[in-house]
């Protein structure tokens, strides 16, 4: 079986504190501990269903090792200069991770980078094994989930800012899953670097700020150059599930349980509190999501009603 490994990024900016993490309430230390715990749970789920190890890439290895149990941690160089007011600040450092995969000595390893608010639900699908064996790079296409929220024209227009003189296909890559060998990451890194300066000059004009913008453009360019990058959503490699109301049509949770990996971007605190990893993990997640989505729907409807009443009173 080909040499491969799962990785996740946990960048810790103790100077920036509140801006270095996203989506968790509480002080900085509490937030970071939640992210570290998410890494631990992800590692346990991967070990249970795949017998594979997770490596955490970070800028502060000692910090994580002082606050974690059993994590494999590697400290790598980070050189990207990121505006302090940018959204998804830490996610931008995935660009440095891509550079790391490009430049390291292990030329033969197939590296899969996933977010740490992800859980493994099933063994590695044969489709993914085939991609690994044949050195076929992979990504997660989330285009159809973004159109309802932002519109086709907006996604295409934003990408074309970084593709001057070209018409974009509007493909959008989710930042939670990408994989390939050193050759792929070298090509990806090179395409990103050509557009990196323009992105940071114009980031405020994009509908989204983060690594996804640059990676989406780079992958589209590679696809148009004839580099085959497989979409893992075509074989349930990963899916993104929102426990909050969405503008796109989202299937019932049962439709997600056949996935190899599941991304729960709004449920980091829940993930951090998971103790048991077994074959019934998807059932327990489902029970939690039923309650969470109902609660979110009620609050959403209450807000809509209040806004309607205010509008009527002012009219």
pLDDT tens digit string along 98-130?
A: 999 999 887 789 999 999 999 999 999 999 999
Q: What is the pLDDT of residues 8-61, one digit of tens each?
A: 999 998 776 544 444 577 788 889 999 999 999 999 999 999 999 999 999 999
pLDDT value of residue 268: 96
**Does 4-279 carry CATH code 3.30.70?**
no
Q: What is the pLDDT of residues 140-177, one digit of tens each?
A: 999 999 999 899 999 999 999 999 999 999 999 999 99
The tokens of 287 are what? 């029970």
- Residue whose C-alpha is closest to residue 180's, from 2, 1, 59: 2
Q: Is 150 left (phi over 0), alpha (psi -120 to 50) or beta?
A: alpha
Q: Which helix (H) or strand (E) holds 286?
A: helix 281-314
The tokens of 306 are what? 């209040």
Average pLDDT over the chain reads 92
**Banded pLDDT at 267 (limits 50, 70, 90):** very high
Q: Give CA–CA dist 120/106, Å, rounded.
A: 26
Could you tell me the maximum CA-CA distance found in the chain, to the nearest angstrom?
Answer: 68
Q: Which helix (H) or strand (E) holds 240?
A: strand 238-240
pLDDT value of residue 180: 97
For the chain, report the end-to-end CA distance as a whole number of angstroms: 68
Which of 130-139, 247-256, 286-295 is predicted least confidently?
286-295
The predicted model gives 280-306 an average pLDDT of: 86
Tell me the backbone φ, ψ of residue 159, rounded to 5 degrees.
Answer: -70, -35
Confirm if 219 and 129 have CB atoms less than 8 A apart: no
84 or 39: whose pLDDT is higher? Answer: 39
Confirm if 201 and 161 have CB atoms less than 8 A apart: no
The SS3 assignment for 72 reads: strand
**Banded pLDDT at 310 (limits 50, 70, 90):** confident
**Banded pLDDT at 261 (limits 50, 70, 90):** very high
The predicted model gives 232-257 an average pLDDT of: 94
Check whether 302 has a pLDDT greater than 90: no
């Amino acid at each position: 079986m080909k040499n491969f490994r799962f990785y996740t990024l946990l960048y810790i900016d103790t100077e920036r504190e509140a801006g270095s993490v996203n989506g968790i309430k509480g002080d900085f230390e509490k937030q970071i501990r939640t992210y570290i715990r998410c890494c631990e749970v992800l590692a346990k789920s991967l070990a249970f269903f795949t017998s594979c190890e997770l490596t955490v890439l970070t800028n502060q290895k000692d910090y994580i090792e002082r606050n974690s149990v059993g994590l494999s941690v590697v400290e790598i160089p980070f050189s990207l200069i990121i505006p302090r007011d940018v959204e998804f600040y830490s996610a931008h450092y995935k660009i440095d991770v891509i550079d790391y995969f490009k430049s390291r000595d292990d030329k033969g390893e197939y590296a899969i980078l996933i977010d740490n608010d992800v859980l493994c639900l099933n063994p590695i699908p044969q489709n993914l094994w085939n991609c690994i064996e044949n050195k076929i790079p992979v990504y997660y296409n989330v285009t159809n989930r973004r159109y309802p929220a932002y519109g086709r024209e907006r996604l295409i227009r934003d990408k074309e800012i970084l593709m001057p003189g070209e018409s974009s296909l509007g493909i959008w890559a989710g930042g939670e899953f990408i994989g390939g060998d050193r050759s792929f990451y070298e090509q990806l890194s090179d395409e990103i670097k050509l557009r990196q300066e323009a992105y940071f000059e114009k980031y405020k004009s994009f509908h989204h700020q983060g690594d996804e913008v640059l990676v989406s453009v780079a992958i589209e360019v590679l696809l148009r150059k004839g580099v085959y990058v497989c979409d893992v959503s075509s074989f349930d490699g990963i899916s993104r599930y929102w426990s909050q109301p969405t503008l796109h049509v989202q299937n019932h949770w049962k439709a997600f349980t056949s996935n190899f990996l599941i991304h729960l971007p709004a449920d980091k605190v829940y993930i951090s509190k998971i103790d048991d990893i077994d074959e019934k993990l998807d059932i327990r997640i489902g029970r939690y999501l039923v309650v969470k989505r109902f609660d979110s729907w009620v609050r959403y409807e209450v807000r809509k009603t209040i806004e309607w009443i205010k509008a009527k009173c002012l009219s």
